[in-house]
Amino acid sequence: MVLAQRTRSSPLVAVARVVTAPRFLIYACCTLLVMLTAYRLGKDMAWDTLDYHFYSGFSALHDRFGQDYFAAGGQSYLNPYVLVPFYALAVSGLTALQVALILAAVQSVILWLVYELAAAVAPPATSIARVGLGICAVALAYANQVLIAQFGSSFADVLTAELVLAGWLLLVQAVRTPHTMRVVYAGLLLGCATALKMTNSIPAVSAGVMVLFIPGDWRTKLRHAALYVMAGMVGAAAVAAPWSIRLEEHFGNPFFPLLNNIFHSSQYTIAPVIDHRFIPRSFGEALWRPFAMVSPRSLIHTEYAAPDLRYALLLAVALFALIVWGWKRRRGSAVLRHEAVGDGSGLALAALGSGLLFDWILWLRVSGNSRYFIPMACVTAVVSIALLFRCCAQWPKVRNYVLATVFVVQFYQLRAGTTYPQALTWDPAPWFQVSVPRNLAVEPALYFSIGVLSNSFLVPYLAPGSGFISLDGDYTLGPDGANGRHIKDLIARYSPHLRMLVRDVRLDAGHDSTLPNLVNSSDALEPFGLQLDTSHCARIVVRDVSSPFIVTKSGHAPAVLSPDEVNVGHFVTCSLKPAPAPDPAMVSAELQANLVLDRLEDACPELFQPRRPATYMRGTKARGYVWERQYPNTDMFAWVDKGWVAFQAYLSPEGYAGPESAWAKGPVHVVCGRGPKGDFLHVTGLR
């Protein structure tokens, strides 16, 4: 009888042990913390959510290649599978808060992995000390604005970062306890992460450094390296193949629009696509970057102010560790001899730190954007805390004082020095609340979206069979070349069911039934032989959506609008009809403007990349034509207006490159470049 009772109670005892174990409690606290953070941040309606996140998840489950064209700009064709969970949850009927909490629970796994990574490199010590090290590493990894801002949001960076961290954790464990399958599984995970988001190729390459730390002779190391590379290729191919096959069929580039400088698809620029916004502009600036990131300023490593002292802390702790190591070596310390024959955690930490250093160098070279450094930011927290615990093993009070100072400063910065993206309050409604007029919901048409923001999140709510084109998103589509031919084919297929879509940016659009100023929309369509038919217009209303950055007021609204009125988006859509033949004066002005802009690009290729983008027309014959080009690699705009050549960098004042007439006569000598103090262009030899 007693034996039977023990047998029946053993499962309960096992569950009780799991529930009361430190690891389970830490995991539960991490998940609760992340879910609470998502709740406090509010509903995410970021630019990327509206621009391509929702559409990408939709396009992964619905074949859109035959009817859409650059619906969300070039990002329409990035691997969309990682965004399927957000799309599926958003259209499931769950409230926005429920969706966010589910996403947050999954995203909290990144902190679980941080704890496991810290435990894998923790020095030999008591279990209490190892748990304390893991908790400190988790807290420091969490104290990251770039990470916090993504909890409960549509961004997939955290999900792919979890795959990266899992792969790095397996390699760290392989360094401590060599096992071939750990290397293979790590390669598979990092290959999958790379296929889902190409920016993860940097930590996938950097992880190869850790493979070389696995104990064994050089033949064993080479075998592990070969297995890691092959597993990575298999993982990447398995995830990327279904989407890449479609891209190859339609564009001749299996990674379209990426790597088009290799595959040369005629439907995208063949210039390398590199965003220079956060890449250091000099070697000195690169060396200073860890300390520059401590400052609460925007546009250092992300668009928002996101002060982060962890990288400066890591440098300081690493220098201190070097001094301590040298002191112990000089004295022939018994502690040093004990560490040399320890449990392998020291070698694992060295491998982790070496991989992190290699990744940091590559990341600064190709991106510098902290949104693509989330997994390594977590590794930075682990390495910093582990080094601090090791260096101060004999001085625990010093360690505690340093930890207290770091956490006070970093969490204060999160509170006082950090800017968080615009968010909305929670309400018991789905993520997207879109009201579409009945005729638009049942009658397929080809929509031309006008504006930098593609508004492709509306596509799932339009009539089945509708097509969607974003003319001037992150990649301007012109009427010539392969882009123009494809657009004209779609126009012929859908005609006469053609429509324009633009957001009414008037703050009080809900109180004014008149049409907003649609001059720019008409200008954008004229090169395609189309013009607006303002007698057939309708409005799509989206509730609980973020307001545009630039708003105007028509004067038809109360002096003060309620939050419910402010957070309502009004999208105007009008029918299109054939436009008359182009004005010869406009054709002549365009030819000269293109010649001028070509010469400006050739005079200063450092600022205007990629070269030869499509020219975008604004204005009218009565008001004057404006010919504009955008250069996404360098965040630059250049245009010809009222006889002058002008340019502007992102969030910078306008600059002038001289009169149009001077550039029309021939190249003008300029001094230009991308210096540590910003972009510059000075015209010389003109009066």
- What residues make up the domain containing 118? 2-41+96-417
Look at residues 379, 399, 417 and tell me which one is the last residue of a structural domain. Answer: 417
The tokens for 445 are 């048409």
Q: How many CB atoms lie within 10 A of CB 546?
A: 19
Measure the CA–CA gap between 418 and 408, rounded to whole angstroms: 14
Q: Would you state the pLDDT for residue 2?
A: 47
The tokens for 333 are 């310390």
Measure the CA–CA gap between 595 and 241, rounded to whole angstroms: 42
C-alpha 595, offset from chain centre: 35
The tokens for 276 are 């220079």
Which residues fall within 8 angstroms of residue 536, CB to CB, at 6 or more apart?
Answer: 574, 575
Look at residues 417, 442, 462 and tell me which one is the last residue of a structural domain. Answer: 417
Residue 85 lies inside a defined structural domain of this protein = no
- Concatenating the DSSP letter of every residue in 36-62 gives HHHHHH-EE--HHIIIIIHHHHHHHHS
Q: Would you state the pLDDT for residue 582?
A: 77
Residue 269 lies inside a defined structural domain of this protein = yes
Q: Would you state the pLDDT for residue 324?
A: 77
Q: Would you state the pLDDT for residue 652?
A: 80
Burial tier of 597 (Cβ tally within 10 Å: 0-12, 13-18, 19+): buried
- Concatenating the DSSP letter of every residue in 459-487 gives GGGSPTT-EEEESBSSSB--SSHHHHHHH
Q: Would you state the pLDDT for residue 619?
A: 72
Say whether 631 sits in a helix, a strand or coil.
strand
For the chain, the residue count is 687
**pLDDT under 50 in the chain at which residues?**
1-4, 7, 340-341
What is the total count of domains within the chain? 2
Residue 195 lies inside a defined structural domain of this protein = yes
Look at residues 393, 417, 441 and tell me which one is the last residue of a structural domain. Answer: 417
Residue 662 lies inside a defined structural domain of this protein = yes
Q: Would you state the pLDDT for residue 559?
A: 59
Residue 70 lies inside a defined structural domain of this protein = no
Residue 79 lies inside a defined structural domain of this protein = no
Residue 579 lies inside a defined structural domain of this protein = no
Residue 354 lies inside a defined structural domain of this protein = yes
